């Protein structure tokens, strides 16, 4: 097996060729000969006539010659096939040559500008007639070069070189103007003034090429490709669960490439998915050199649990009645009507009602243990906030926000005929409770805020954004549960049975995959929050806290990254009805599944 065999492209491989042949080079050679030849004439004439304008224009023509030479070099190198030592071929030589050329031209620009400034202070006599004649000839040469390059309309390199030559026309015109002005008025400062103008033309084109060549040599994402949009478009293809380890770069100018790992729902779908992925990348982004490694979502190098054991475990879990008695309340939003599920424990005729409202990506079953412990004293109501659990999903995800949630809770209170209610709110559920308890004529008797306040620390927002709404799909329930347990590690230490009670109901089976219970779109408004919106929201929450008239207990996990001790102190200072307690060895947020934590709630709501 040799290098040629390994480099060969078969059916379905990239459509580009490592080597390029058969491109017409005649017009490039003509343009290069004319440009480089006359730049030498201009340099000699500029030194003889002491004209900095001619010297700078000669420098500009050298940049054009370099551009033409690079175009020829690219075509010459592109003909060389890849080898055992250079598997991608030699396309990067063009960018390397451009980078070196730009560094040299930067030095030339600096010299011309320094020399021009000195000539403002000490003008040198300039032979105006010589400058005029040479500049006029230069203008004709540039017109001839532009015409010759315009004959080849297919080569992108030739078209790029033509842009340089059109800029050089301006330099020739500047030198011509300089010669005429010196002949007519004797004003020598026009020569260094126009020299600076031409130098700025050189500087503009040089910096542009320098930036592009540096970006290419550093294997940057091609400038015309949006890396993030590529990832989104890949994940939008039917059958793709997620994409990771994605890289996009250019092997040689104009030949973008892509590699990455793609998690798919079923490996047998991979040929169809690859065909769609290849077509999308080629048609949308011009990427045809694609290397993707497929992975079946949720598959780990572990011995799978037998199907009959998996089903038996799931049946046993369902028999535990995670949700109590379930009912629904009709709610409305600007997008239409929807149902919110709620789960209850205790006597529905009991006038002492306890609302337990969950966090951003959780559901009402979080409170099952506490509800069973307190249902002898309270009618415990645990809603699945819309978009979660057994509740409906919203057609417009932008309404997944606190105002909508408060409205839905008001609809629930109206249905239940609640006159007074105790409110236990974890994280987002606490924010909903703060706004609800600040409303005029509200029914909140006591408010427990579980690890949340008006100010949410940046570290917690970053952590939440890392998993909320992100793809989560596993064939094996045990693996899915372990993954979710690791995400929820800040809850504190729990036994396996406690983790099952907390996170078991978070997993639902769909199309033979274990996924999370909520609408991934709940992350849409969360992700669209700008610093200004966040600041306004925080201010509104502080105002709500100040308006609350009932007793407030703030429970903080000692290791919480969401609620700081400083925020708790400010809350207790702003509202004198607020007090606080801290639970050790716990982050965000205490689970209230342990007896000692449930006792905190029991004592507060007495």
Tens-place pLDDT, residues 135-174: 677 778 778 777 766 665 544 445 545 555 665 666 677 7
Angle at 280 between CA 160 and CA 472, to 5 degrees: 130
- Percent of the chain residues past pLDDT 90, beyond the cut: 42
Same domain, 152 and 247: no
Phi-psi region of 321 (alpha: psi -120 to 50; beta: other; left: phi over 0): left
Cα end-to-end span (Å), the chain: 82
Of the three residues 191, 217, 243, the one that is the final residue of a domain is 217
Give one DSSP letter per residue of 528-542, joined into a string. Answer: T--HHHHHHHHHHHH
For residues 479 and 302, the answer to whether their CB atoms sit within 8 Å is: yes
Q: Which residue has the higher pLDDT, 81 or 216?
A: 216
* Structure confidence by residue, pLDDT tens digits, 305-324: 344 333 333 333 333 444 57
Mapped onto helix, strand or coil, the DSSP state of residue 350 is coil
Distance CA 537, CA 535 (A): 5
CATH of the domain at 192: 1.20.1510.10
Same domain, 72 and 10: yes
What is the SS3 string spanning 539-604? HHHHHHHHHCCCCEEEEEECCCCCCCHHHHHHHHHHCCCEEEEEECCCCCCCCCCCHHHHHHHHHH
Sign of torsion over alpha carbons 67, 72, 78, 80: negative
User: What is the DSSP-derived secondary structure letter of residue 304?
Assistant: P
SS3 content of the chain, % helix, strand, coil (to 5): 55, 15, 30
* Structure confidence by residue, pLDDT tens digits, 2-20: 434 334 444 444 444 444 4
Distance CA 426, CA 433 (A): 9
Phi-psi region of 585 (alpha: psi -120 to 50; beta: other; left: phi over 0): left
Q: What is the pLDDT of residue 83?
A: 56
Cβ within 8 Å of residue 96, ≥6 positions away: 213, 217
Distances from the Cα of 418 to the Cα of 280, 348, 414, 536, angstroms: 55, 11, 7, 31
To the question of pTM greater than 0.75 for the whole model, the response is: no
Q: What is the pLDDT of residue 319?
A: 36
Same domain, 41 and 142: yes
Residue 357 φ/ψ, nearest 5 degrees: -115, 130
* Structure confidence by residue, pLDDT tens digits, 122-136: 776 665 676 677 767
Residue 129 included in any domain: yes
Distances from the Cα of 152 to the Cα of 1, 35, 122, angstroms: 41, 17, 46
Span 458-476, average pLDDT: 91
Predicted confidence (pLDDT) at residue 108 exceeds the cutoff of 80? no
Q: Which residue has the higher pLDDT, 73 or 474?
A: 474
Q: What is the pLDDT of residue 583?
A: 95
Distance CA 408, CA 332 (A): 8
Distance CA 382, CA 363 (A): 8
Q: What is the pLDDT of residue 41?
A: 75
Of the three residues 161, 183, 217, the one that is the final residue of a domain is 217
Residue 341 included in any domain: yes
Same domain, 157 and 261: no
Residue 24 included in any domain: yes
Same domain, 160 and 258: no
* Closest by Cα among 179, 250, 264, 163 to 213: 250
Distance CA 57, CA 63 (A): 10
For residues 363 and 342, the answer to whether their CB atoms sit within 8 Å is: no
Q: In angstroms, how far is CA 428 from the centroid of its own chain?
A: 25
Q: What is the pLDDT of residue 13?
A: 44
DSSP H helices in 79-127: 92-121
User: Of 177-181, 228-232, 466-470, 600-604, which gets the smallest average pLDDT?
Assistant: 177-181
């309340």: which residue's tokens?
Answer: 329
- Assigned token pair, 46: 């500029």
For residues 544 and 460, the answer to whether their CB atoms sit within 8 Å is: no
Residue 303 included in any domain: no
Distance CA 368, CA 324 (A): 8
Distances from the Cα of 57 to the Cα of 4, 130, 191, 579, angstroms: 47, 14, 11, 78
Q: What is the pLDDT of residue 363?
A: 96
For residues 183 and 129, the answer to whether their CB atoms sit within 8 Å is: yes
Same domain, 152 and 191: yes
* Closest by Cα among 559, 564, 566, 569 to 590: 559
Same domain, 192 and 240: no
Distance CA 378, CA 422 (A): 9
Mapped onto helix, strand or coil, the DSSP state of residue 392 is coil
Predicted confidence (pLDDT) at residue 301 exceeds the cutoff of 50? no
Q: How many helices (H) and strands (E) does the chain have?
A: 20, 13
Question: Taking the CB of residue 222, how many other CB atoms lie within 10 A of it?
Answer: 20
Same domain, 291 and 429: no
Span 52-68, average pLDDT: 66
Predicted confidence (pLDDT) at residue 442 exceeds the cutoff of 80? yes
Residue 62 included in any domain: yes
Element (H, E) at 257: strand 255-264
Distance CA 23, CA 72 (A): 10
Domain count, the chain: 3
Distances from the Cα of 390 to the Cα of 184, 193, 382, 425, 589, angstroms: 89, 76, 12, 19, 23
Residue 138 included in any domain: yes
Burial class (CB in 10 A: 0-12, 13-18, 19+), 430: buried
Q: What is the pLDDT of residue 457?
A: 92
For residues 172 and 142, the answer to whether their CB atoms sit within 8 Å is: yes
For residues 288 and 15, the answer to whether their CB atoms sit within 8 Å is: yes
CATH of the domain at 387: 3.40.50.1820
* Structure confidence by residue, pLDDT tens digits, 482-524: 999 999 999 999 999 999 999 999 999 998 899 999 999 999 8
Residue 312 included in any domain: no
Of the three residues 261, 296, 331, the one that is the final residue of a domain is 296
**What residues are paired with 211 via a beta bridge?**
none
Distances from the Cα of 403 to the Cα of 235, 399, 435, 606, angstroms: 31, 8, 8, 29
Same domain, 212 and 232: no
Residue 516 included in any domain: no
Residue 341 φ/ψ, nearest 5 degrees: -80, 150
Sign of torsion over alpha carbons 25, 30, 35, 40: positive
CATH of the domain at 287: 3.30.70.1350
Same domain, 38 and 153: yes
Predicted confidence (pLDDT) at residue 229 exceeds the cutoff of 60? yes
Residue 456's domain spans which residues? 321-460+521-605
Q: What is the pLDDT of residue 94?
A: 61
Q: Which residue has the higher pLDDT, 84 or 455?
A: 455
* Structure confidence by residue, pLDDT tens digits, 237-280: 988 888 888 889 887 667 788 988 888 888 888 889 999 999 99
Same domain, 201 and 253: no
Same domain, 263 and 159: no
């Amino acid at each position: 097996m040799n290098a040629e065999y390994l480099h060969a492209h078969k059916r379905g491989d990239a459509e580009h060729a490592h080597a390029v042949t058969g491109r017409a080079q005649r017009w490039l050679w003509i343009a290069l000969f004319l440009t480089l030849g006359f730049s030498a004439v201009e340099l000699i004439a500029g030194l003889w006539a002491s004209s900095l304008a001619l010297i700078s224009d000669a420098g500009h023509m050298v940049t054009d010659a370099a551009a033409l030479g690079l175009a020829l070099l690219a075509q010459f190198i592109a003909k060389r096939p890849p080898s055992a030592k250079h598997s991608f071929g030699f396309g990067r030589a063009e960018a390397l040559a451009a980078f070196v050329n730009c560094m040299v031209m930067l030095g030339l620009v600096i010299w011309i500008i320094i020399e021009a400034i000195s000539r403002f202070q000490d003008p040198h006599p300039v032979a105006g007639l010589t400058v005029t004649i040479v500049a006029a000839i230069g203008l004709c040469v540039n017109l001839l070069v532009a015409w010759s390059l315009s004959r080849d309309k297919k080569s992108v390199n030739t078209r790029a070189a033509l842009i340089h030559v059109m800029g050089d026309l301006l330099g020739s015109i500047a030198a011509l103007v300089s010669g005429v002005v010196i002949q007519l008025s004797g004003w020598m400062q026009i020569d260094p003034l126009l020299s600076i103008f031409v130098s700025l033309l050189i500087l503009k084109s040089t910096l542009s090429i320098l930036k592009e060549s540096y970006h290419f040599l550093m294997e940057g994402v091609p400038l015309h490709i949006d890396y993030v949009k590529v990832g989104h478009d890949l994940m939008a293809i039917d059958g793709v669960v997620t994409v990771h380890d994605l890289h996009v770069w250019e092997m040689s100018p104009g030949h973008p490439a892509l590699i990455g790992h793609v998690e798919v729902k079923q490996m047998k779908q991979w040929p169809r998915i690859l065909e769609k992925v290849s077509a999308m990348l080629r048609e949308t982004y011009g990427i045809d050199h694609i290397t993707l490694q497929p992975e079946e979502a949720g598959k780990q190098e572990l011995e799978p649990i037998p199907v009959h054991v998996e089903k038996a475990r799931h049946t046993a879990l369902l028999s535990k009645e995670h949700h109590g008695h379930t009912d629904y309340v009709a709610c409305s939003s600007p997008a239409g009507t929807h149902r919110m599920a709620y789960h209850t424990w205790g006597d529905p005729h009991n006038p002492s009602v306890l609302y337990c409202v969950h966090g951003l990506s959780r559901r009402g079953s979080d409170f099952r243990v506490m509800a069973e412990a307190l249902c002898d004293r309270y009618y415990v109501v645990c809603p699945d906030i819309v978009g979660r659990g057994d509740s409906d999903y919203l057609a417009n995800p932008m309404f997944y926000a606190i105002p909508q949630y408060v409205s839905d809770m008001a609809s629930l209170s109206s249905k239940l005929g609640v006159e007074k209610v105790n409110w236990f709110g974890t994280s987002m559920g606490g924010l909903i409770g703060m706004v609800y308890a600040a409303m005029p004529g509200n029914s909140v008797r006591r408010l427990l805020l579980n690890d949340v306040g008006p100010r949410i620390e940046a570290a917690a927002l970053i952590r939440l954004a890392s998993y909320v709404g992100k793809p989560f799909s596993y064939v094996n329930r045990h693996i899915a549960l372990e993954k979710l347990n690791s995400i929820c590690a800040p809850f504190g230490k729990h036994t396996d049975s406690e983790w099952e009670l907390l996170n078991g109901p978070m997993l639902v089976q769909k199309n033979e995959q274990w996924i999370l219970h909520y609408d991934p779109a709940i992350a849409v408004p969360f992700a669209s929050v700008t610093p200004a919106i966040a600041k306004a929201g925080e201010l509104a929450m502080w105002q709500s806290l100040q308006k609350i008239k009932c007793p407030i207990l703030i429970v903080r996990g000692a290791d919480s990254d969401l609620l700081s001790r400083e925020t708790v102190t400010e809350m207790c200072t702003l509202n004198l009805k607020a007090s606080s307690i801290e639970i050790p060895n716990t982050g965000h947020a205490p689970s209230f599944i342990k007896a000692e934590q449930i006792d905190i709630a029991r004592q507060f709501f007495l």
